[in-house]
């Protein structure tokens, strides 16, 4: 009897345990999704090959413990003589995989859990296509569309043939009459006006419709971005006015001074006063614009204040890493020869300044806090492009580059402004750096001071268990 009394409690305990395990796995997979998007999407996808192989069912092909070691540092595993690691390395053309020693074992297991969930997600059932018959008595709609396309091709070829024969006939008439059968000068002059009206109309339409899709439509999110946008709009206005004037004059003169056999062309060799004006005015305008640009650029590349936060951006095919200076606000030394051996960025762990450095795959910045970026590249030339902050810098292997700016709009504020809860700032590569260039991006989050400090404290330091005696907290 006691057993029967215990059955409901036992069943409830089992149900609660199963629910907790399910929730834990779901949370793990959800965390894995975030980590996968931040670390893996530049080289991998679930169902298709990108740079690396497709990851679908990778958990079935390899043991979890092996996958953890491989993701942490594949080169180390290969160097140990692991037969599977060596085989995978050779199967992928000996392309080294980026080491992720900054990720914990649990984080890597979360990524594996996410891959497992995505691999086992059944593809939506394909809806059976219902044939659509045509009035002529049957046939599939796709076949009908194909037939229409071929018919259009045939009609186009016939039109080309007809036009060719029309021109041949006109040429024969011209030969018989001894004069042109068609006044092409008049026709071309009219086409000049048509082209002018249509072209300028299309230009206005392009600005009105697609201008809303540009980054300039939402305003800058950095301190210098206001000056940048101002220079851009002034340049656009000046060149736009010149463009319209020159195009109108070009096509109008083509229309007005068409050859009719009555007007004699005038030869106007030179006019020194006119040449002086159209050389001096553009030179002065361009000089002013260039000087303004140089002033803004010099501010972005000038020596920074000690309180400016130091962040290193590391580019590789096809992703980004960010390294934050710790409490001492000093980045540790690096050695390009150690990239992928000691850690993914080749940071010198023997340097005391590197102990408290933080390596991440998602860039967080503090609003209204100046930040200086130092850029390094592992393989080819990349270009770090922050479109919302109006900043860009080439990232060159062996040639460190840098600039600084101050973000002024938090991510949450920009989401409210755009009325888009999914909006995120991004760092893009603006150089065509290889086959997966289009996937090379990193999420950028602009936090309040409190949120940034909370996030920064939650990140593990590069060398745990050691401290930098020279570290001082930033104010």
60 Cβ partners below 8 Å, 6+ apart?
119
Residue 405 predicted with pLDDT over 90: yes
pLDDT digits (tens, 9 = 90+) for 172-214: 888 787 777 777 788 888 999 999 999 999 999 998 898 888 8
pLDDT surpasses 70 at 359: yes
Of the candidates 427, 430, 425, 434, the one whose C-alpha atom is nearest the C-alpha of residue 394 is: 430
**SS3 of 347, please?**
strand
pLDDT > 90? residue 466: no
Lowest mean pLDDT among 12-16, 88-92, 387-391, 396-400: 12-16
| 172 burial type by CB count under 10 A (0-12 exposed, 13-18 middle, 19+ buried) | exposed
Q: Is the pLDDT of residue 117 over 90?
A: no
Residue 18, burial from CB neighbour count under 10 angstroms (0-12, 13-18, 19+)? exposed
Answer yes or no: is pLDDT of 356 > 80.
yes
Distances 256 to 180, 187, 241 between C-alpha atoms, Å: 21, 12, 22
Q: Please choose, from the candidates 98, 105, 113, the residue with its C-alpha nearest in 3D space to the C-alpha of residue 33.
A: 113
pTM summary value: 0.67
Mean pLDDT over the full length of the chain: 81
How far apart, in whole angstroms, are the C-alpha atoms of residue 460 and residue 392? 29
Banded pLDDT at 147 (limits 50, 70, 90):
confident
């Amino acid at each position: 009897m006691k057993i029967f009394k215990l059955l409901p409690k036992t069943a409830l305990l089992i149900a609660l345990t199963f629910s907790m395990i399910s929730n834990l796995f779901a949370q793990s997979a959800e965390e894995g999704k975030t980590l996968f998007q931040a670390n893996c999407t530049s080289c991998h996808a679930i169902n298709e090959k990108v740079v690396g192989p497709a990851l679908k069912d990778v958990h079935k092909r390899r043991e979890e413990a092996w996958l953890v070691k491989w993701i942490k540092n594949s080169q180390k595993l290969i160097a140990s003589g692991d037969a599977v690691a060596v085989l995978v390395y050779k199967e992928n053309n000996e392309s080294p995989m980026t080491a992720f020693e900054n990720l914990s074992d649990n984080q890597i297991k979360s990524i594996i859990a996410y891959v497992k969930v995505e691999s086992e997600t059944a593809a939506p059932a394909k809806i059976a296509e219902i044939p659509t018959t045509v009035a002529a008595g049957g046939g599939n709609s796709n076949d009908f569309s194909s037939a229409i396309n071929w018919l259009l091709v045939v009609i186009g070829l016939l039109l080309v043939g007809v036009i060719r024969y029309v021109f041949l006939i006109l040429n024969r008439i011209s030969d018989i009459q001894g004069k042109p059968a068609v006044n092409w000068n008049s026709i071309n002059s009219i086409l000049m006006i048509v082209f002018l009206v249509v072209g300028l109309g299309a230009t206005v339409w392009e600005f009105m419709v697609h201008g809303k899709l540009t980054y300039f439509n939402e305003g800058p999110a950095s301190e210098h971005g206001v000056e940048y946008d101002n220079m851009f709009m002034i340049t656009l206005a000046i060149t736009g006015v010149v463009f319209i004037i020159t195009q109108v004059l070009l096509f109008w003169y083509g229309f007005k001074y068409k050859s009719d056999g009555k007007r004699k062309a005038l030869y106007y060799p030179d006019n020194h006063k006119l040449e002086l004006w159209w050389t001096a005015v553009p030179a002065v305008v361009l000089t002013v614009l260039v000087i303004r640009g140089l002033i803004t650029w010099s501010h972005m590349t000038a020596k920074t204040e000690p309180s400016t936060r130091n962040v290193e951006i590391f580019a590789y095919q096809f992703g980004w890493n960010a390294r934050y200076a710790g409490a001492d606000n000093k980045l540790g030394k690096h050695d390009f020869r150690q990239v992928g051996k000691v850690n993914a960025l080749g940071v010198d762990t023997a340097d005391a300044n590197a102990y408290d450095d933080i390596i991440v795959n998602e860039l967080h910045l503090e609003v209204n806090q100046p930040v200086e970026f130092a850029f390094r590249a592992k393989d080819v030339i990349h270009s770090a492009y922050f479109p919302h902050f109006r900043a860009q810098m080439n990232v060159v292997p062996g040639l460190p580059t840098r600039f600084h700016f101050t973000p002024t709009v938090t991510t949450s504020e920009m989401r409210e402004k755009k009325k888009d809860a999914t909006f995120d700032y991004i760092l893009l590569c603006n150089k065509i750096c290889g086959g997966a260039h289009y996937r090379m991006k990193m999420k950028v989050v602009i936090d309040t001071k409190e949120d940034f400090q909370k996030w920064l404290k939650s990140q593990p330091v590069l060398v745990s268990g050691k401290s930098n005696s020279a570290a001082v907290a930033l104010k």
